[in-house]
């Protein structure tokens, strides 16, 4: 398993955490690093809101105390605004910048941002040029393979961005119209890799360590990007890394280990966001951690009503006791 070099930035291994809105906040990035992730991204950040010094947006840009490298992902469609956003992100400590050219969400697309840029390659290239001019760090982009099945543009689009000065490109093997349905087209990722000389990161349908190895083998891409597969399952990161290094699969975490991981995640989020916001933020994560476990429907319902750390802890502890996941008087395994 080799290092990945993006511009002058050295990434220690080819396991990358995808930028996911509402998921890859500071707490989750810290957890991903603990599992050995080579590169993490922030949630997508509005360059315009950053320029307006929006306080919530500035929070998304809080990188203090985190292990680098971290890629700050910006979205927008105005070259001047994206360039200023890039300058502010670097000022905040970004060692890598990424442009969101793949988000399929209607409220983003209707503003000409995210996936909408796939239909405006000249504008996309101008955004890259302007950001590269002002940023002393590598600029990357994350794209989809096209707007819809009749319009698969990833190869020519990636070439256009490379000409404009992009340092690496991540390709999600779905169209905008697919959202997250259907199957990711890894063959298009392969064709992008063959068409450009910059590093290509493959994304889409990596649920197991074997999937990651298969993507690398089939596409020739330089790194794999893990997205929905890590929701409630950050162990996938260490599983992929171990498999790529040693060719053997790690055992999946036990239910008890998963719930202990959930509690660790909860504690981190509460430290960073406070109890009220933290409990609200953790509801979806807790549901993901419980996925696949037995008799969890009433547990999830109770967690969605919980208002305090103590209440969440009690609900999880009672579930673990009921299912025989803890044995000792103090809950030791």
Q: Is the peptide bond before 69 cis (omega within 30 degrees of 0)?
A: yes
Q: CA 206 → CA 186, 209, 210, 239, distances in Å?
A: 11, 8, 8, 12
d(CA 65, CA 37): 16
Q: Hey, CA dihedral for 148, 112, 128, 64, is it positive or negative?
A: negative
Q: Is 103 a catalytic residue?
A: yes
Selecting among 37, 51, 77, 103, the annotated active-site residue is: 103
Chain centroid to CA 156: 25
Q: What are phi and psi of 86, to 5 degrees?
A: -60, -45
Alpha helix locations (H) across the chain?
A: 26-34, 47-51, 55-60, 79-91, 106-109, 121-134, 154-164, 186-195, 209-219, 235-246, 255-273, 275-290, 297-305, 309-322
Tokens found for residue 214? 């298969």
d(CA 245, CA 286): 30
* Pair 19, 71: CB distance under 8 Å: yes
Tokens found for residue 168? 């690496």
Q: Hey, CA dihedral for 99, 103, 105, 109, is it positive or negative?
A: positive
Chain centroid to CA 285: 14
Tokens found for residue 160? 């256009």
What is the DSSP pairing of strand 4-6 with strand 9-11? antiparallel
What is the DSSP pairing of strand 45-46 with strand 40-41? unpaired
Annotated active-site positions, please?
103
């Amino acid at each position: 398993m080799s290092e990945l070099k993006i511009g002058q930035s050295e990434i220690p291994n080819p396991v990358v955490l995808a930028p996911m809105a509402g998921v890859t906040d500071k707490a989750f990035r810290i957890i991903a690093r603990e599992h050995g992730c080579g590169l993490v991204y922030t949630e997508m950040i509005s360059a315009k809101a950053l320029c307006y010094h929006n306080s919530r947006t500035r929070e998304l840009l809080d990188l203090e105390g985190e292990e680098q490298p971290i890629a700050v992902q910006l979205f927008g469609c105005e070259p001047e605004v994206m360039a200023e956003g890039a300058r502010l992100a670097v000022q905040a400590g970004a060692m890598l910048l990424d442009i969101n050219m793949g988000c399929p969400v209607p409220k983003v697309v209707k503003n000409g941002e995210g996936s909408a840029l796939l239909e405006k390659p000249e504008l996309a290239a101008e955004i890259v040029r302007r950001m590269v001019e002002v940023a002393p760090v590598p600029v990357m982009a994350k794209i989809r393979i096209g707007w819809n099945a009749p319009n698969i543009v990833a190869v020519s689009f990636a070439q256009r961005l490379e000409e404009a000065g992009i340092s690496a490109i991540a390709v999600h093997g779905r169209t905008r119209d697919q959202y997250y349905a259907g199957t990711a087209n890894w063959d298009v990722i392969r064709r992008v890799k063959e068409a450009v000389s910059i590093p290509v990161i493959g994304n889409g349908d990596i649920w197991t360590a074997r999937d990651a190895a298969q993507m690398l083998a089939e596409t020739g891409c330089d790194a794999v990007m893990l997205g929905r597969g890590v929701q409630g399952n950050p162990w996938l990161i260490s599983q992929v890394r171990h498999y790529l290094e040693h060719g053997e699969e790690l055992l999946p975490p036990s239910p008890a280990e998963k719930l202990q991981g959930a509690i660790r995640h909860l504690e981190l989020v509460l430290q960073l966001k406070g109890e009220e916001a933290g409990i609200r933020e953790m509801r979806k994560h807790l549901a993901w951690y419980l996925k696949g476990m037995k008799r969890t429907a009433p547990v999830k319902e109770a967690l969605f009503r919980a208002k305090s750390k103590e209440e969440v802890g009690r609900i999880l502890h009672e579930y673990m006791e009921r299912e025989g996941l803890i044995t000792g008087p103090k809950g030791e395994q």
